[in-house]
Structure 1
Amino acid sequence: MAARPAVGRRAIEVLLESELPAADGRRLVLVDAVFEGGEQDSEFTLRVAGANRRIRVTGQDSPLGIADAWQRHLASGSGADLGDGEDSARDGDSVLVVTSGVPADQLGWDVRAHAVRRRPLTVNRADIVKQLFGATDLDTRMVGEAWLLDALLEAEPVDGWPHSGAVLTRDRAIQALIAARLKLGDIQANTLDLDADTLFAWTRGPAGPALFAALPPTERAGLGTWLGKTVGSAAPTLLALAGDGRGRDALPLGVLASAALTSSSAEAAGFALGTLFGSALSSFAALRPFADAATGVVTRWIAQAEGTGTHRREARDRVLAVLERADHLAADSRLVELIGADRFLPSGYRARLQSLTTALHGRAPDAEAALRDLTDHYLAALNAESTDRARTAVRLVRWLNGPKPQVTSVSQAAREHLASTAWVDLAVGVLAEGDTSRDAALSDSYHRLIKAVRKRRDALDAEFARALALWTETASQQAPGGALLIEDVLGEAAAPLARDGGRPLILVLDGMSADVAVHLAAELDRRVWTEVVPKSGAGREATRQAAVSMIPSVTRISRTSLLCGKATEGGQSVERTGFETFWKKRRRAAQLFHKGGFEGLPGHRLSPELVRALASDDVVGVVLNTIDDALDDGREAARGRWRIDDIAKLPDLLNAARDYGRPVLLVSDHGHVLDRSPRDHRQPEAGGVGGARWRTGAARAGEVELVGPRVLTSGGRVTAPWREDLRYTARKAGYHGGVSLAEVVIPVIALVPAEGPVPSGWTLLPTERTQPDWWLGSVPGAARHTSPDEPVPAPSEQPAPGMFLLPGQGTLGERTVQSDAYEAQREFVRLAPPERAVAAVIDALVGAGGKLSPGAVATAAQAATGKSQRNPERFATVLERLLNVDGYAVLRLVESGRTVQLDKALLQQQFLGDTS
């Protein structure tokens, strides 16, 4: 005899809601089923047809028991109210539900006469579910799935199941059940977007896994099977962990599984891992898909943490919580030594950082390999400061392993300092900050590296000081010896920006050394500003200008000489008069603003006087003292890098210059050195002290005596140190006045708005050419070989467009522009660049490893055609439209428009049919 179906309270309720409205007052309902109410008899109130009815449920196994239950029910009905109000349930309207397996033909006619439909009713759970979802038909696969039908009846929400069309599909029913039971998604939604990310994120919630663990075993198995097919083969293991009450560890365990499977001791690691998973691991074959899914989720979470959205911090905390828990589990199970420096775990990042620590004092290739290993770690970007500091350390290793710098002249040394040695000083400043990990071994390693760099830098400063002493004896504006003098900066760098009605803004950052300047320039938004430099002679690259300060390198002499355009000494009034006189001789009005004259009133970013000056046709100069002032109050000791936002009013001044279409000249009057000597370091006694870094008297170790027309104090003769650790006054954060490269070399940075004209005789300076090769890590051949100053063949010597070489020959760029696909694509781009320019850009990008700045791309095109590209970003955008066939990103602007990136493989596939 077949077992009777079991029904719960909800099935009874739905049956009554369907049958009682048409029952003609009958109050006995016979049900062919077993009630799962937990007790033999049960009572509850049900609202039917707008009124509350008292329901009594009893189970009986014989006709006599059924008859007796009905008589007792009738006897108890007095018609008395059981509640207040007309809708309250009255006992006289109560309904008796009898669950039984007694056949209808064994029941007496007196009982059947009072029963609804005069016979026992069968409960079809499929019909009930169909009714609850408002469907007219049901997925046939659900009819035999008792676990699903029962779960849907039991889990029905207070507001009921959502109606989802004429046919209730199995997937829709299970999705609704998952939303109700596991709080995964919205019950009312027609679809539930379930993937591994969603499921693993659910395990990290406070209640998700516990909800799953509380489900009946059959329901857990059914949902697990469906999720396994829908989400992937990782779901069963994940849900097994949730069922064991360890759902929050699912993602950390997945990360550990990945580490174990890829370790050199995979077998031993797998055994240890098995003890962590326990019964949740059905087989080791299930580890791989589970590990792959987990690491895929973590990888995507890391990408979110690296982004710029508002939830970046939240994403970072989430992923670090997972990975630190994985590390903790690994330590508890003694897995750490077996999995090694894993690519996900924080311990793996620290281990790779330790390997780099050792490699810094060996061969450069070993340090490079250790750095690649570190940056390959998935947490490299989340540990951005430590990673950047490690990258900086390897840059210094490259410099130490490179050719020893030589001083052949003052002018050569000044240019080389701005082009290379200033970056060394910047790197030393970064390392001197110390690592956030506070690892003693790493700190000691950085300290040793700094000492090695300083030893070489001291030797270079000593050479420079000797050359400077000889040069100073005769150097003057009439005979500069090939150097750019500080008093000539206005004439050589500012005046070209003022030609043809140009209105330059000259920003004098008092005390800005070259290392500060190169970092500030690197921060500029190249979509807004284009750096320009004077063209150089044939065969030479155009580079930034570097000037030489007056002696001693102090504000009263150097800044005044800079602003007056001649060697002189004085204060602000002399500077203001001299500045106006210099420009008056060139038939231009000019205004100079010092500290206190350009800060705005409350509610104003800049003073009204300065704003009016910027709006006029006058040449405007502004002196910013932030850096120089910081040497006194200790700010420099806190961080080795200056950012644009660190310098008071600099962002506002740059924005104003952009808005008024003004080119900008960033310049200094002198540099500075920092005091990094120990607190107990004793300075030697010295006489004739004139300032922190200059005095009179015979030179001693670490000093040099200078005499000549450029020495504008103490009768034209001073003694100044080249060693950075010498000073003659009380301790401060930093000093100036000496003759080290950092103090004497003046950075000169010229900028024009992206839409503005480039001065005649000047050219664009791509970002790649502002950094030395050792900083970049590889020789940027493309950027170097597309200098606009290199000779370009005359048009008659150049092959006609489309006729570079025989088909199939030539560079990748040449073959691309000869292809049929390129010809077809070119038809859709209005005013497409010449084929020669496009080919040159492609080859330049390939030579640079696939990435160049928009400026370098424009320079490559200019070198090939002789035609200047005034708007590099717009040019790059045209190239995007030209090369991106059917929307595939062969070429695109990345990093907020700072970089043009070429996908070489996709280019070959789209234009040359190369799918290899």
Structure 2
Amino acid sequence: MSAAQLLLRRLLDQAGGASETGYVLVIDGEGLESLPAQMPTPKGVCGVHRVASELGLRHLLWKAKGAPLIAVMPEDVARRIQSAPDLLRRARNQRVHALSVNDVLEVVLGVRVVGADAPHMQQLALENVERLGLAMSHRTLPTVVDRRLLTELLVDVSVGEQVRTRSAAQLLAAWVQEPPRWSANVSQLVRDAMPSLHGDEGRLLAWALAEPDARLRDLVMYGAVLTVEAAELPKPAWGPLWKAATEPPIEMDRRILRRTVARLAEETLSLLGDGGADLLAGADRVGRGSLTPTQLQTSRVLPLAFADRCHALAQQAASGKAISAADISWLSSHRAARINRADLAVLESMARISRYLDQPFSPRADLLEQVREYQRGSAFVDLAMLQLRRALASSVHYHAEANKLLMACRERRDRENRHFAETLAGGYEAALHRDGLTPLHRIWKRTVAPLWQSEPDARLFLVVLDGCSYPVFLELLYSLAQDSAFPIGIKPDASGRVHGLPALSPLPTVTSHARGAIFLGELPSDPLVAETVFRDQDEAKTDKARFNQNAALGSRSRKLFLKGDLADGGQGLLSALEDESYSVVGVVFNAVDDQIGSSNTGATVKISPEDITAFKPALRVALKSRRRVLITADHGHSPYIDKSLRSGNGKTPRYTALGKHDAVPEGFIEIDVAGLGGPPERRAFAWRSGAYLGGPQVGFHGGCGLEEVVVPLAWIERDGLYADEPAWWYGRGTLAELSVPAAPVQPPIVTPLPSDEVPAKAKAKAQLSLFNPADKAGSLPLPAALIEKLSVDERSILVLLRETGSARASELAERLKKNPGRLNGLMRALRRTLHAEGHVLFSDEVLPSGETMYRYQSKPKNQGAR
């Protein structure tokens, strides 16, 4: 049956039902566009006719001669018929019938409809009646369609389901970029629907949609201003929201309104990302004119608050006060952090350096301790300074404060370097060969030989990173360890720490001498060769010859790849690593040394594993081929700082030969290397970071600074880890704070609480009472001989019951890591053992849940026997 037939049947019912005679007058309307010629009824067939005038109606009635019919006419004809009493008097119910909107909707939707009384809803319902029917077909048919459901249906068919399915913040983010252009009826409909669809936030959206071009932006801008953490805010900070709070549709307590609009603005700005910059700029203008600087700095949304906090923290660091991790966390969580990434990077590095400077400086007398301190601490601050210089290159802010902080850090590092240099000068040969340290010419004997003793057939891949300082190595290692597809790193030691082996490059820290020490296995006695000359003429000939002469390798097959051998993209290297006939494969990657040798002093050393030809593929192939991988460097380098640290002329930047009466250049120290570094002569080596002779370049080496002498040396493997950062890297206090021992947590005495704590493996006697209850069995009221007869589990159970008072079987099983089903049997056996000696220490009862509860009770001997 068509919709028109259903509507006509509804009209007949309104007129009193079907009849054998008479006519029904009907006003034409929605749903009656396609009329059937006849309408079957229980009393016969009723004709259906459309008339256009009063005369046409009279002619139709004359032709019908009393037969039942329905006459459908326009509204203006129906008004004229009102003045024809004879026509109305003979019509059914003596009036002209019309369909209400509810009638039409009930027929189309197939369910009762109530609440469509608002004019705009009626008009929209009639305009979208067919689409309403389609929308209803996609839902579970309700008993009745009320005003709320009808509103939702109309919103869906008028503007789309996104108004109902998206969050308020998502809607605001979309509308603020492109304000909606709806008709008055649709706008009123959506505004009416907002509170029921989105609650308090919907009321705000309804207010904004009344004037979308202005209020949508106001909602975000003033909402951002209201995010400041202040108890009371002046009216200008509220803008139009101050008045709107007391008017419909908002009508909210201002405290609730403030929380709601602030949350909505934060979420919206997060969705807008960089697209919300102009809104944040507007919020800044409002905040600057209505709030105090102290209030502004508490906002997690306003860019001005971010900038003010950054400026305050930068000045704090420059004045010698540490920036805490909480401060950096606050900046990182700020909404403006994304559009101020460069400034945030500057503050993060400054914070790390400031926390490093906050540590007490206590120079170590022992050389090994100095090297370890550098590897686990000062090398990280060298990395932080490198990262700060990079960050400053992308930011226009905080340069003065950062430079002041860098100067203070370099002074601290110079003190460390000077102390290290003086230790070397006090006995270079003894220092170089100290137990626990690995000089480069002893790598084979102190690092590789123990491997071959335990694994004689182990195949080795030796990686030498030319000029790679320890900070640069840390950065490379971090990138390798972060590769989720094939993570590479250092295996933790027995104590769980992750760090490299302490290793030293021999003085002078130049390629011809230090790399020769690696491949020859002894300190070379050849004359020192200038860096550029060695690289251009002697590298391929000398290094390979020394590698073949290395007595520590014995008869093991070997192959060395240098820069020229990697011209094929490293294919030959990869093939050699897969070839099991080579016991030892070595390679030198020159990427770092090539960078520091550049005269582009405006750049800092920055290199990733992917930037080094064949580096990452070689590591992967070696590990997949079950080779042990040892990575090291021939020497480190000291970065260029500025020309003020130039100490004079010279062909070698960081060391120089001295005549009999020559003075030591500023920033240098004389060290007697006793013929272990070239021909015997007086030599001075630079200890000050950045000090150099001759012309400037990105980095220098040859001196005795920690960043040059302490080189990376580590066994790396798949699924290894990045080196442990020092406490100040992510922390916010000094080492003194970390040295305060935590008070041990005592177990409960009375309250019987279940515990899911996994007992830790005891390391010291002081911890046994905390994790192993059996160690407290001596406190039980039992003879020592009887206690000795009990198992560890039985003693633990009795101690736990004594300390807690009572415990369920499941709780005891969890503490002992036993199957609960077996615990009851253990308890019965324990009861029999105690009863045999005349002791009763616990009772049991079955709980309503079926579980057994054990209670501690101590009775004198023989009183518990039955």
Assess same fold via TM > 0.5.
Answer: yes
Once residues 65 and 818 of structure 1 are traced to their aligned partners in structure 2, the CA distance between those partners, rounded to angstroms, is 88
Q: Do 2:469 and 2:708's aligned partners in 1 also have CA atoms closer than 8 Å?
A: yes
Q: How many aligned residue pairs are there? A: 719
2:353 alignment partner, one of 359, 371, 396: 396
Once residues 615 and 366 of structure 1 are traced to their aligned partners in structure 2, the CA distance between those partners, rounded to angstroms, is 53
Q: TM-score, normalised by structure 2?
A: 0.70
Answering whether residue 154 of structure 2 is matched by residue 177 of structure 1, we say yes
Q: Which residue of the partner structure matches residue 43 of structure 2?
A: none
User: Counterpart amino acid of 2:692?
Assistant: R
Q: Which residue of the partner structure matches residue 847 of structure 2?
A: none
1:607 alignment partner, one of 566, 571, 577: 571
Answering whether residue 176 of structure 2 is matched by residue 204 of structure 1, we say yes
Q: Which residue of the partner structure matches residue 687 of structure 2?
A: 722
Shift of 1:445: 0.8
Shift of 1:783: 14
User: Counterpart amino acid of 1:195?
Assistant: S
1:47-58 equivalences in 2 (<5 Å):
none
Q: Do 2:645 and 2:691's aligned partners in 1 also have CA atoms closer than 8 Å?
A: no
Shift of 1:343: 1.3
Q: Which residue of the partner structure matches residue 153 of structure 1?
A: 126
Q: Which residue of the partner structure matches residue 551 of structure 1?
A: 507
Q: 1:282 to 1:750 in 2, by over 3 A?
A: same
Q: Which residue of the partner structure matches residue 367 of structure 2?
A: 410
Answering whether residue 626 of structure 2 is matched by residue 654 of structure 1, we say no
Q: 1:661 to 1:451 in 2, by over 3 A?
A: same
2:417 alignment partner, one of 453, 458, 461: 461
Q: Do 1:269 and 1:339's aligned partners in 2 also have CA atoms closer than 8 Å?
A: no
Is the partner of 2:502 in helix, strand or coil? strand
Shift of 1:226: 3.4
Answering whether residue 543 of structure 2 is matched by residue 575 of structure 1, we say yes
2:220 alignment partner, one of 241, 245, 252: 252
Shift of 1:326: 3.1
User: Counterpart amino acid of 1:613?
Assistant: L
Once residues 493 and 252 of structure 2 are traced to their aligned partners in structure 1, the CA distance between those partners, rounded to angstroms, is 66
User: Counterpart amino acid of 1:614?
Assistant: E
Cα shift readout 1:736-772 (whole Å, capped 9, x = no counterpart) = 1112111111121222223xxxxxxxxx9x7674435
User: Counterpart amino acid of 1:395?
Assistant: R
Once residues 409 and 824 of structure 1 are traced to their aligned partners in structure 2, the CA distance between those partners, rounded to angstroms, is 47
2:670 alignment partner, one of 686, 705, 709: 705
Is the partner of 1:266 in helix, strand or coil? coil
Once residues 634 and 679 of structure 2 are traced to their aligned partners in structure 1, the CA distance between those partners, rounded to angstroms, is 20
1:226 alignment partner, one of 193, 204, 212: 193
Is the partner of 1:670 in helix, strand or coil? coil
Q: Which residue of the partner structure matches residue 609 of structure 2?
A: 644
Once residues 726 and 259 of structure 1 are traced to their aligned partners in structure 2, the CA distance between those partners, rounded to angstroms, is 50
Shift of 1:207: 4.0
Once residues 622 and 71 of structure 1 are traced to their aligned partners in structure 2, the CA distance between those partners, rounded to angstroms, is 110
1:603-682 equivalences in 2 (<5 Å):
606-614=570-578, 616=580, 618-633=583-598, 637-639=602-604, 641-678=606-643, 681=644
Q: Which residue of the partner structure matches residue 787 of structure 2?
A: none
Shift of 1:249: 1.4
User: Counterpart amino acid of 2:227?
Assistant: A
Q: Name the larger-Rg structure.
A: 2
Q: Which residue of the partner structure matches residue 486 of structure 1?
A: 440
Q: Do 1:532 and 1:751's aligned partners in 2 also have CA atoms closer than 8 Å?
A: yes
Is the partner of 1:664 in helix, strand or coil? strand
Cα shift readout 1:680-733 (whole Å, capped 9, x = no counterpart) = x4845446x445644444323221223334643243543222223432232211
Q: Is 192-201 or 459-468 further displaced after alignment? A: 192-201
2:102 alignment partner, one of 122, 126, 130: 126
Q: 1:373 to 1:474 in 2, by over 3 A?
A: closer
Once residues 607 and 117 of structure 1 are traced to their aligned partners in structure 2, the CA distance between those partners, rounded to angstroms, is 100
Once residues 738 and 230 of structure 1 are traced to their aligned partners in structure 2, the CA distance between those partners, rounded to angstroms, is 72
Q: Is 480-489 or 104-113 further displaced after alignment? A: 104-113
Q: Do 1:672 and 1:735's aligned partners in 2 also have CA atoms closer than 8 Å?
A: yes
Answering whether residue 703 of structure 2 is matched by residue 738 of structure 1, we say yes
Q: Do 2:636 and 2:707's aligned partners in 1 also have CA atoms closer than 8 Å?
A: yes
Once residues 178 and 529 of structure 1 are traced to their aligned partners in structure 2, the CA distance between those partners, rounded to angstroms, is 56
Cα shift readout 1:848-902 (whole Å, capped 9, x = no counterpart) = xxxxxxxxxxxxxxxxxxxxxxxxxxxxxxxxxxxxxxxxxxxxxxxxxxxxxxx
Cα shift readout 1:467-489 (whole Å, capped 9, x = no counterpart) = 2223325566xx54653211112
Q: 1:692 to 1:741 in 2, by over 3 A?
A: closer
Cα shift readout 1:5-63 (whole Å, capped 9, x = no counterpart) = xxxxxxxx97699669x99xxxx996548x99xxxxxxx9967789xxxxxxxxxxxxx
Is the partner of 2:352 in helix, strand or coil? helix
User: Counterpart amino acid of 2:726?
Assistant: Q
Q: Do 1:258 and 1:288's aligned partners in 2 also have CA atoms closer than 8 Å?
A: no
Is the partner of 2:477 in helix, strand or coil? helix
Is the partner of 2:630 in helix, strand or coil? strand
Is the partner of 1:178 in helix, strand or coil? helix
Q: 1:136 to 1:475 in 2, by over 3 A?
A: closer
Q: 1:534 to 1:178 in 2, by over 3 A?
A: closer
Once residues 375 and 112 of structure 1 are traced to their aligned partners in structure 2, the CA distance between those partners, rounded to angstroms, is 82
Cα shift readout 1:653-672 (whole Å, capped 9, x = no counterpart) = 33333433444322111111
Q: Which residue of the partner structure matches residue 142 of structure 1?
A: 115
Shift of 1:609: 4.6
Once residues 631 and 268 of structure 2 are traced to their aligned partners in structure 1, the CA distance between those partners, rounded to angstroms, is 41
Q: 1:790 to 1:825 in 2, by over 3 A?
A: closer
Once residues 524 and 810 of structure 1 are traced to their aligned partners in structure 2, the CA distance between those partners, rounded to angstroms, is 50
User: Counterpart amino acid of 1:420?
Assistant: G
Q: Do 1:544 and 1:748's aligned partners in 2 also have CA atoms closer than 8 Å?
A: yes
Shift of 1:408: 1.8
2:384 alignment partner, one of 421, 427, 436: 427
Once residues 301 and 768 of structure 2 are traced to their aligned partners in structure 1, the CA distance between those partners, rounded to angstroms, is 59
Q: Do 1:694 and 1:737's aligned partners in 2 also have CA atoms closer than 8 Å?
A: no
Q: Do 2:635 and 2:709's aligned partners in 1 also have CA atoms closer than 8 Å?
A: yes
Once residues 426 and 620 of structure 1 are traced to their aligned partners in structure 2, the CA distance between those partners, rounded to angstroms, is 30
Is the partner of 1:751 in helix, strand or coil? strand
Percent of aligned pairs sharing the same letter: 18
2:54 alignment partner, one of 60, 67, 72: 67
User: Counterpart amino acid of 1:589?
Assistant: S
Q: TM-score, normalised by structure 1?
A: 0.66
Q: Is 234-243 or 569-578 further displaced after alignment? A: 569-578
Once residues 494 and 438 of structure 1 are traced to their aligned partners in structure 2, the CA distance between those partners, rounded to angstroms, is 46
Q: Is 419-428 or 355-364 further displaced after alignment? A: 355-364
Cα shift readout 1:298-337 (whole Å, capped 9, x = no counterpart) = 65567xx7xxxxxxxx863245565444334545767877
Shift of 1:461: 1.7
Cα shift readout 1:105-146 (whole Å, capped 9, x = no counterpart) = 864778999x999973412211322344xx3213x5435455
Shift of 1:178: 1.7
RMSD (Å) for aligned C-alpha atoms = 5.0
Q: Which residue of the partner structure matches residue 284 of structure 2?
A: 327
Q: Do 1:359 and 1:367's aligned partners in 2 also have CA atoms closer than 8 Å?
A: no
User: Counterpart amino acid of 2:491?
Assistant: V
Q: 1:685 to 1:174 in 2, by over 3 A?
A: same
Once residues 194 and 486 of structure 1 are traced to their aligned partners in structure 2, the CA distance between those partners, rounded to angstroms, is 64
Shift of 1:532: 3.2
User: Counterpart amino acid of 1:173?
Assistant: L
